[in-house]
Amino acid sequence: MQSRLQTSNEAKDVIKKWIHDSADNIRVSMPAKVVSYDAATNRASVKPIGTYTTKDFQEIEYPTIHSVPMQFPCGVGGTAGVTFPIKAGDGCIVIFADREIEQFLSGSFCDDMRSHSMNDAYAIPGLYSQAVPTVKNNSNDVCLFNAGSLVVLNGGALRITLADGTTALFSGGDLVVNGISLVNHVHGGVMPGGGDTSKPK
């Protein structure tokens, strides 16, 4: 009885090891960095972060994956969305699809059954180890920022601060630009006749 039980346990251990080894070699998603990006094709070269261990216990860096589609927020058949600049060194998360994706991206169907292949990777930009400052300071707002300019939208106002110092606030039916109200501004130097007024103040 002991011999049979031992044999049964050994078989279970072998099966568990097979399952573990198989699962350990599956890559679903990983943090990565952008090596290069081509905006004309929306494809990037990305390098997963970290190393993997071979069967003979050697640690090897992950290779650079080329021609990876970048996934921006998009809808309405691609007619509405948001894009932003991507530079080398930017963080992203790279996802390895359950099935072949190249045929899908080209508009056709393929019954290729390969799974979690590095050939079927796509990337979502914006993975960073630290919080983006505008998110931290405007946690209840929608923010759009680029190169020192910031647009903040909340339930009551649209606030714009440009990198050159220009400010604008749209709220309560009025637009105030650099402190001058569109609705309530006044003009100086007003005289009867066909001349123009001075700038608003």
pLDDT in tens, 89-135: 999 999 988 777 776 666 666 666 666 567 788 899 988 777 676 66
Q: Are residues 42 and 121 in the same domain?
A: yes
What is the arithmetic mean of pLDDT over 192-200? 66
Q: Are residues 120 and 166 in the same domain?
A: no
Q: What does pTM read for this prediction? A: 0.70
Q: Are residues 68 and 113 in the same domain?
A: yes
Name the domain count of the chain: 2
Q: Are residues 90 and 159 in the same domain?
A: no
The answer to the question of residue 161 being in a domain is: yes
Predicted confidence (pLDDT) at residue 21 exceeds the cutoff of 60: no
| 3-state helix/strand/coil string of the chain | CHHHHHHHHHHHHHHHHHHHHHHHCCCCEEEEEEEEEECCCCEEEEEECCEEECCCCCEEECCCEEEEEECCCEEHHHCEECCCCCCCCCEEEEEECCCCCHHHHCCCCCCCCCCCCHHHEEEEECCCCCCCHHHHHCCCCEEEEECCEEEEECCCCEEEECCCCCEEEEECCEEEECCEECCCCCECCCCCCCCCCCCEC
Q: Are residues 65 and 116 in the same domain?
A: yes
The answer to the question of residue 159 being in a domain is: yes
pLDDT in tens, 133-142: 666 778 889 9
Q: What percent of the chain has pLDDT over 70?
A: 70
Q: Domain span at residue 166?
A: 133-181
pLDDT in tens, 147-159: 889 999 999 999 9
The answer to the question of residue 1 being in a domain is: no
The answer to the question of residue 172 being in a domain is: yes
